[in-house]
Amino acid sequence: YKDNTQDIDGAIKDYTYCITLEPRYTYAYLGRGDMYMAKGNVDAAKKDYQTVVAQDTLILEQGNCRQYAYQMLGQKDSAEAYMQRILDKYPTEGNYYDAACLMSRMGELQRSIEYLKVSFEKGYHEINHLDMEHIWYSVILYLKCSYLLRKAGDDNVVSCLFAIIKLSFSSNLIWICTN
């Protein structure tokens, strides 16, 4: 989890070690690709994402990551189509959570929220996992913005935007659940 602690170089080393031990574990390539991307090493990231696409070819009940690699390679349609194939075959709470993550990563915030809702309705309960996912920041901000804009009305947009900025520094998932 060094990638969640902003230890990018440490995360790259850990993912590389994991790949050395288990070269077919595609999530390690995906994670290392994300870390390379965070460092601005686009060529290395692209190579890892292409490895994921080449190796992650079977749709499993859990552990699919090809859709994320497609997304990072700029192949949005392929990412969405692959995610839909997963959901068609295995409509589990975990796969709906993955669909929510994918939509959030692609900036499809409303669709992300819809998938997340289905995931919770199906029994997803890994709340502490949500805290580790940086992708949820934009969804949380989107929800806050929608709520505050509805509450403030058109006449008070500037003060609403300042409230959103203030709330974004103290946000957490509980705010969404209670508002």
| Whole-number pLDDT of residue 109 | 80
| Whole-number pLDDT of residue 135 | 57
**Mean pLDDT of all residues belonging to the chain:** 79
Q: Which residues contact 78 (CB under 8 A, 6 or more apart)?
A: 70
* pTM for the whole structure: 0.75
Rounded Cα distance between 71 and 16, Å, is: 22
Share of the chain above pLDDT 90, in %: 47
pLDDT tens digits for range 96-154: 989 988 998 888 888 888 888 888 889 887 766 665 555 555 566 566 566 655 665 55
| Whole-number pLDDT of residue 170 | 41
Ramachandran bin of 11, using left for φ above 0, alpha for ψ from -120 to 50, beta for the remaining angles:
alpha
